[in-house]
Amino acid sequence: MSNRPIGVFDSGVGGLSVLRALRAELPHETFIYVADSGHAPYGERDDGYLIDRAHAIVNWFTQSHQIKALVVACNTATAAAIHVLRQAYPDMPIVGIEPALKPAVAQSKTKVIGVMATRSTLNSDKFKRLLASLDDQARFVLQPCSGLAPAIEEFNATKIGAACAEYTRAMGTFGSKSGEIDTLVLGCTHYPFAEASLRLGTGPTVTYLEGGSPVAQQTRRLLAGVNQLSAEPLTDAINVKLFSSGYPPALASAARRWLNLEAEAFSLRE
């Protein structure tokens, strides 16, 4: 049973940033990655829609691939649906992702922290509870970034650059002086793939925090806790299968571009 795959899903290609961290942390594991691009953008959807999509994808994972664990590699889907998934699958290790506010508080020297995320994530009860728990420890500058994830999904450099410039400018001054934003939380798994464009607006000294590595470490801990870590090294260098509910070649291209992964992507058939 320990040789069964780990399921990973996101609204699109953004979750590849989490998959990258998972593969580094768990090199003996195999992964099934789903980009739900045919139903994106998640950031503009309501909770009911996201819960329905999460149920459909996890049902496909369990029926078609008998996954041993699930990683929800999407901040928006985690905020909307992870509590429902944990109730529906109580025996499965399920790991979600949330904006790295707690590490940001520990990291920041100016205690002014920027948070870029989708509007749905920022409006979610889960995020509001997290923010309230840290409200007296730092000042958070929240920036909804409508359109940025779709631009990254399209790999449209012009749109990515324009969105990054608009949103970093709207947040205020970045830097290391008192009152300046010295730490930026990337609260969507797509955004690490726009770092070069974001740096043009924030400067090179601002610390960026994302959630991929903590998710990978927590996945390892949970699997170890139930004795489900893969016992044998992989015999195949390609340890990922890719599926998309949108246009599979776009997912394969993104995996090649950002993960240096040569793998065919297949159409998701629920």
Q: Please provide the CATH number assigned to the domain covering 6-97+212-267.
A: 3.40.50.1860
Indicate whether 204 pLDDT > 80.
yes
pLDDT tens string 120-166: 899 999 999 999 999 999 999 999 999 999 999 999 999 999 999 99
Rounded mean pLDDT of 65-70? 97
The pLDDT assigned to 169 comes to 98
The pTM of the full predicted model, rounded to 2 decimals, is: 0.91
Indicate the length of the chain as a whole number. Answer: 270
The angle formed by the CA atoms of residues 82, 95 and 183, to the nearest 5 degrees, is 95
Residues that are catalytic: 74, 188
Rounded mean pLDDT of 194-219? 96
Sheet holding 183-186, edge to edge: 139-144, 112-117, 183-186, 207-209
Confidence of residue 2 (pLDDT cuts 50, 70, 90): confident
- Each domain of the chain, given as residue ranges in start order, spans 6-97+212-267, 101-209
Rounded mean pLDDT of 51-74? 97
Short-list 123, 139, 246, CA closest to 187: 123
Indicate whether 233 pLDDT > 80.
no
Range in 1-5, 50-54, 121-125 the model is least confident about: 1-5
The pLDDT assigned to 236 comes to 59
Confidence of residue 234 (pLDDT cuts 50, 70, 90): low
The pLDDT mean for the chain works out to 94
The pLDDT assigned to 79 comes to 92
Indicate whether 237 pLDDT > 60.
no
Q: Report H helices in 134-211.
A: 148-154, 157-171, 195-202
Topology (CATH level 3) of domain 101-209: Rossmann fold (3.40.50)
Rounded mean pLDDT of 191-212? 96
Short-list 12, 1, 4, 3, CA closest to 242: 12
Place of tokens 């699930």: 70
Indicate whether 78 pLDDT > 90.
yes
